[in-house]
Amino acid sequence: MRFSRAKGISMGALALAISLGASVPVVAQTAASPSPHEAWQRKAPAGAPNVVLVLLDDVGFGASTAFGGPTVTPTLDQLASQGLRYNRFHTTAICSPTRSSLLTGRNPHATGIGAVMNTADSRPGYSGFHTKDTATIAEILRQNGYSTAAFGKWHQTPDWEVSQSGPFDRWPTGEGFEKFYGFQGGETDQFEPTLYDGTTPVLRPAGDHYHLTEDLVDHSIQWLHAQKSVARDKPFFLYLATGGTHAPIQVPEEYIARYRGKFDQGWDKLREEIFARQKRLGVIPANTKLTPRPAEMPAWDSLTPDQKKVASRLMEAYAGFLAHTDEQIGRLVQALKDSGQYDNTMFVYIVGDNGASAEGGLGGSLNYLGSMQGAKESDEQKLASIDKIGSAEAYAHYNAGWAWGLDAPFQWTKTVASHLGGTRNGMVISWPKRIHNPGGLRSQFSHVNDIAPTILEAAGIPEPKEVNGIAQKPMNGTSLLYSFDDAKAAERHSTQYFEVMGNRSIYHDGWMASAFHGRLPWQVITRTDRPMEEDKWELYDLRSDYSQATDVAAKYPARLEEMKALFMKEAAANQVLPLSGLKLDDQRLPDPSGGAKSATYYEGTVGVAERALPRMMNRSWSLSSDVAVGNASQGVIAAVGGSAAGWSLYIDPQRRPVFTYRAFDMKTANLVGQPLTPGAAKLRVDFDYDGPGYAKGGTLKLMVDGKQVATDTLPMTPASFFTIDETFNVGVDMGSPVAAYPKEAPVGYRYQGGRIGKVTIDLR
């Protein structure tokens, strides 16, 4: 029997009556009676579009074919032909602040994330987390009838909260996304990533031909299909932030092969080629000037033939990586078309969260995390390993010269927020149902904080004054819908400041004032203590100087002073002050390790950030474990780090205890004992440091039941960290493998055939 709710009977009373077997009157629902779902589920405004927001990582303005670049990006090109290209779109010059500004519609420091996550400090604007008065666009849409999901890079959760102890309110699923599948750190291995499903650490799917970008798009499509199947009339918001093309540069070889020999001309010539194509395409004005190479950066012709070979291969791999990334996004676009959802989907494709990255150093690197900490690779080492570039066997990053080349026609690169090479990125918006004259170019000033207001206006949802009972800061961005129908519409985003690590600038009504703070963008962990007042300010008239090529500070001193004062006003209003260069190890931040000198972990402990361990760098330490060994025991007992660097204690298929310490590409030590007798065993590793000082070597000793069974020495150890995304795990090696485990071992090489009692780390 079907029941309808009788007028005047509460649902509780109705349920009680039914449970008692009472006769319940059946009353027809009238037009005046509210449909239950109207009260129980908030619906999006009629006709509200789906929204897909794609953000690539570390892509220069001149990298893609859509903006004159050498890398073929057919998906981006197709979307541009069906939508609009924006050639004066801006990011913040570095990843975490860009993502924060993008997702909240606010200036990055106003949200609390004015610095990249691993350089957060105690200043309110650099805290490393969103404050609750800057809710994300995902949370707003979720509360207004949208399904929401995020796939890929997050990099918005403070380091001290990235563990299975939480709290989780600053993870994606606590910030408005109902579904999250991706990674937390600034980068991850593309073949063996450190992954989370929601808040749970997970191993990547098994298989011999895995790549993270393909996996992320697979999950995105699966989620879209589920929404279409179950909630057919409910719009969705899908945020896809790829690991491509951030280092490590890793991509299937077939994509690298497409670009073999394409970059033998070098970065100086490449930059000229990009510049010429940009003019032919019309994505830059005809009177644009090509800015010169920084004096600190080598000319291509100054390299030796062997250096050129390695550099060319690094760039070939990077181009293949970008091409592969764009191809995967094409699968997502096709899924939208196949399901009939494309026409009413606003597809926002942002080509980079900052300028191209110079973090690979002047010489490029096959293991750049080590290179930036002093583990320098010789030219001979690089050449000998040239065929590993792009593969799982390298943690590669290209030369800074390529980054500069791909940022044509602008000065500088990623992290340099004072200049457009750090902040100018290409963007394409497609929305067939709303964009009536596709294929156009839009040159109004725009910024990542404009995207959230654009989405709200497109959906017909007003900007909320309050979210979850908390009064909200107003959004700083301006909706771009006004530009859709009129290429000549007056720009509405008239003022915008930029600041990263002391590099700073201010845009206002076509003018830009810029101050470079002196830290070269390839000197990744170099502190900048120069007083701010010593920085030289430059002035540019961007109305006639598209590429920021001609400093007119001497010509317009009064305007420069006005711009400097405006910067300080904006800085004060957005928690940018006090200004500082790169700050490291701010002791006033929460320390996830608690300053521990000793810590014990048990089987099942996974996903622990390296920073949460006792600080093992630059000192002596011991690692010990009680294990129960069976006849067929094998697998990882404990591991931290990954293919770039780290250590792993494990038992191999012959029941031999093995300790592997990977010191980047300087040396991998493998200490191997005799097969263990089934039963209880006490394993211990001692490391005697050759200090004092940073990054020194030392002696490793492996012991079984108190007896030394193997020893080896290391020429160096990391000064600061093994990794910025891999974790510490007991009983499994999550993410990329530290050691060369048996080829037949499953992903993660989980311990089996025995039991791990405990694992203890002691600082000595």
What is the C-alpha separation between 546 and 567, in angstroms, rounded?
A: 21
Query: Does residue 679 belong to any structural domain of this protein?
Result: yes
What does the pLDDT look like over 148-183, one tens digit per residue?
999 999 999 988 898 888 999 999 999 999 999 999
CA distances from residue 294 to 403, 413, 422, 515, 579 in whole angstroms, order as listed: 12, 11, 14, 15, 25
> Could you give the angle at the alpha carbon of 455 between the alpha carbons of 454 and 459, nearest 5°?
120
Evaluate if residue 105 carries a pLDDT over 90: yes
| Residue 436 amino acid letter | H
Query: Residue 267, CB half-sphere, CA atoms under 13 Å: how many?
Result: 33
In order, the DSSP letters of 71-125 are B--HHHHHHHHHSEEEEEEE--SSHHHHHHHHHHSS-HHHHT--S-GGG--SSGG
Q: What average pLDDT does range 694-718 have in this prediction?
A: 97
Confidence of residue 455 (pLDDT cuts 50, 70, 90): very high
The reply to whether 503 and 415 lie within a common domain is no
Query: Does residue 583 belong to any structural domain of this protein?
Result: no
Q: What average pLDDT does range 328-342 have in this prediction?
A: 97
The reply to whether 276 and 332 lie within a common domain is yes
Final residue in a domain of this structure, among 539, 573, 607: 573
Burial class (CB in 10 A: 0-12, 13-18, 19+), 106: buried
Evaluate if residue 719 carries a pLDDT over 70: yes
CA–chain centroid gap for 505, Å, is 24
Closest CA to 586 of 121, 253, 47: 121
pLDDT at residue 586 in the model: 61
The reply to whether 399 and 366 lie within a common domain is yes
User: Where do we find the tokens 């961005």?
Assistant: 477
Evaluate if residue 25 carries a pLDDT over 60: no
pLDDT at residue 704 in the model: 98
Evaluate if residue 36 carries a pLDDT over 70: no
CATH number for the domain harbouring residue 355: 3.40.720.10
pLDDT at residue 29 in the model: 40
Closest CA to 725 of 98, 251, 117: 117
Q: Can you list the positions of beta strands (E) in 692-737?
A: 698-704, 707-714, 727-730
- What six digits make up the tokens of 573? 């209003």
CA–chain centroid gap for 287, Å, is 35
pLDDT at residue 38 in the model: 57
Confidence of residue 35 (pLDDT cuts 50, 70, 90): low
Confidence of residue 585 (pLDDT cuts 50, 70, 90): low
What is the C-alpha separation between 431 and 446, in angstroms, rounded?
A: 18
* Residues 6 or more apart in contact with residue 714 via CB below 8 angstroms: 661, 663, 666, 667, 669, 697, 698, 699, 700
The reply to whether 527 and 631 lie within a common domain is no
pLDDT at residue 271 in the model: 98
Mean pLDDT of the chain: 93
Query: Does residue 588 belong to any structural domain of this protein?
Result: no
pLDDT at residue 529 in the model: 78
> Rounded to the nearest 10 degrees, how much is the dihedral formed by the CA atoms of 371, 726, 414, 95?
-170
CATH number for the domain harbouring residue 646: 2.60.120.200
* Residues 6 or more apart in contact with residue 699 via CB below 8 angstroms: 687, 688, 690, 711, 712, 713, 714
> Rounded to the nearest 10 degrees, how much is the dihedral formed by the CA atoms of 437, 442, 448, 450?
-70
What is the C-alpha separation between 728 and 760, in angstroms, rounded?
A: 12
Instruction: Please indicate, yes or no, whether the overall pTM of this predicted structure exceeds 0.85.
Output: yes
Confidence of residue 37 (pLDDT cuts 50, 70, 90): low
User: Where do we find the tokens 């005047």?
Assistant: 8
Query: Does residue 331 belong to any structural domain of this protein?
Result: yes
CA distances from residue 431 to 73, 400, 635 in whole angstroms, order as listed: 19, 36, 51
What is the C-alpha separation between 697 and 71, in angstroms, rounded?
A: 42
Residue 286: CB atoms within 10 Å: 7
The reply to whether 80 and 123 lie within a common domain is yes
Task: Report yes or no: 633 and 657 within 8 Å, Cβ to Cβ.
Answer: no
Q: What average pLDDT does range 37-62 have in this prediction?
A: 90
User: Where do we find the tokens 């050449």?
Assistant: 383
State phi, psi for 141 to the nearest 5 degrees. -65, -40
End-to-end Cα spacing for the chain = 74
Confidence of residue 312 (pLDDT cuts 50, 70, 90): very high
Percentage with pLDDT > 70 across the chain: 94
What does the pLDDT look like over 630-681, one tens digit per residue?
999 999 999 999 999 999 999 999 999 999 999 999 999 999 999 999 999 9
The reply to whether 608 and 529 lie within a common domain is no
pLDDT at residue 19 in the model: 42
What does the pLDDT look like over 474-501, one tens digit per residue?
999 999 999 999 999 999 999 999 999 9
Query: Does residue 589 belong to any structural domain of this protein?
Result: no
Query: Residue 439, CB half-sphere, CA atoms under 13 Å: how many?
Result: 3
Query: Does residue 706 belong to any structural domain of this protein?
Result: yes
Beta bridge partners of 495: 508
- What six digits make up the tokens of 429? 């918006």
Final residue in a domain of this structure, among 450, 471, 493: 493
Task: Report yes or no: 493 and 451 within 8 Å, Cβ to Cβ.
Answer: no
Closest CA to 139 of 429, 452, 348: 452
**503 in helix, strand or coil?**
strand
Sheet holding 503-508, edge to edge: 495-500, 503-508, 511-515, 537-541
CA distances from residue 737 to 194, 245, 333, 382, 646 in whole angstroms, order as listed: 10, 21, 33, 22, 9
Closest CA to 759 of 558, 600, 521, 548: 600
The reply to whether 473 and 522 lie within a common domain is no
Evaluate if residue 584 carries a pLDDT over 90: no
pLDDT at residue 269 in the model: 98
* Residues 6 or more apart in contact with residue 162 via CB below 8 angstroms: 184, 185, 607, 609
Final residue in a domain of this structure, among 472, 493, 514: 493
What is the tally of structural domains in the chain? 4
Closest CA to 372 of 382, 362, 381, 380: 362
pLDDT at residue 142 in the model: 98
Radius of gyration of the chain (CA): 27
* Residues 6 or more apart in contact with residue 255 via CB below 8 angstroms: 320, 321, 323, 324
The reply to whether 482 and 503 lie within a common domain is no
Closest CA to 496 of 454, 455, 449, 463: 449
The reply to whether 511 and 423 lie within a common domain is no
The reply to whether 484 and 509 lie within a common domain is no
The reply to whether 167 and 129 lie within a common domain is yes
Query: Does residue 593 belong to any structural domain of this protein?
Result: no
The reply to whether 610 and 633 lie within a common domain is yes
Evaluate if residue 18 carries a pLDDT over 80: no
Query: Does residue 4 belong to any structural domain of this protein?
Result: no
State the residue range of the domain holding 693.
Answer: 598-763
User: Where do we find the tokens 């900052």?
Assistant: 354
Query: Residue 640, CB half-sphere, CA atoms under 13 Å: how many?
Result: 21
